[in-house]
Amino acid sequence: MFRKIIFTLTIISLVSCLSLPVMAQEIGSDTEVIKEYVDSKFDAAKIAILKTLGKNMIQRRINILSTGQNLLAKANLVADNVKNVLNDEIDDTITNLSSLKDSIDSEEDLDALRSKVESIVVDYRVYIVQLPKAHGLALISHYRTISTKLDEMIEKLTDKLDELGLSDDGAIEDAKALISSASAKLDQAEDKFDEMQIQWPDKAITLNLEARGLLIDAKGDLHDAFVKLKEAVSNIKDSAEEEEE
């Protein structure tokens, strides 16, 4: 009975480490199966239930890792060495999970099968490390793309000021400072995502939270920079109209 409780808690324990949508999918899909396993009286039935549970858990991880790889492929503004290391890790995980899935399917010893299903959570930190890293790096690339577009806006506005013989009233310089702040935070976030390792899941959770905080702050800086540039556009337009009068 104690081992049954420990096994169930091992599967359920990943709840605290998942984002809400993934958590809902993982636990919502397996709650009934886990309850059926706990209530079952016969080893043959338990084995059949565990096989279904294990194979479903693995397939979800393989599917979501493939999605993560697609995100990485589009993250053009993230360092290649960071992307390549994670991509290789994901390849290895998919290969190993596929092998584990076959092993689970052929296993007929209940204790051995239980250990293999437990290993899906304990040995493969898909939701704690690899998926958050892939999503985080994709966001960094997205925000760097926005930063580049804001820099292009600044260049055009500066050219317009020169053309009209006007000077910046401070809005453009404020925007530059905000973009620089966002860039520094994105670099820090990238470093933290890069430090996340499967071997140290607790540290990975902390690093992910810190990196996510930096991304939120960077997004805020970029939003504020955009507002400043809109202000600059309005000021230039007003100054140009005054010149015409």
pLDDT block averages, 10 residues each, the chain of length 245: 40 36 51 77 89 92 92 88 90 96 95 91 89 93 94 91 84 96 97 93 95 97 94 82 59
155-182 burial: b if 16+ Cβ within 10 Å, else e = eebeeebeeeeeebeebbebbbebbebb
Q: What is the pTM of this model?
A: 0.79
Please state at what angle helix 171-195 crosses helix 80-106, rounded to 10 degrees.
Answer: 40
> In terms of Cα–Cα distance, which of 151, 207, 208 is closest to 182?
151
The secondary structure element, H or E, covering residue 199 is none
In the prediction, which pLDDT does 23 show? Answer: 38
In the prediction, which pLDDT does 133 show? Answer: 94
**Residue keyed to tokens 């995980």:** 93
> In terms of Cα–Cα distance, which of 137, 138, 134, 130 is closest to 201?
130
In the prediction, which pLDDT does 29 show? Answer: 63
CA 130, distance to chain mean position in Å, is 8
> In terms of Cα–Cα distance, which of 198, 197, 10 is closest to 115?
10
From residue 41, alpha-carbon distances to 44, 52, 177 in Å are 9, 17, 66
Structure tokens at 86: 């994670």
What DSSP string runs through 49-86? HHHHHHHHHHHHHHHHHHHHHHHHHH-TTS-HHHHHHH
In the prediction, which pLDDT does 245 show? Answer: 52
In the prediction, which pLDDT does 15 show? Answer: 33
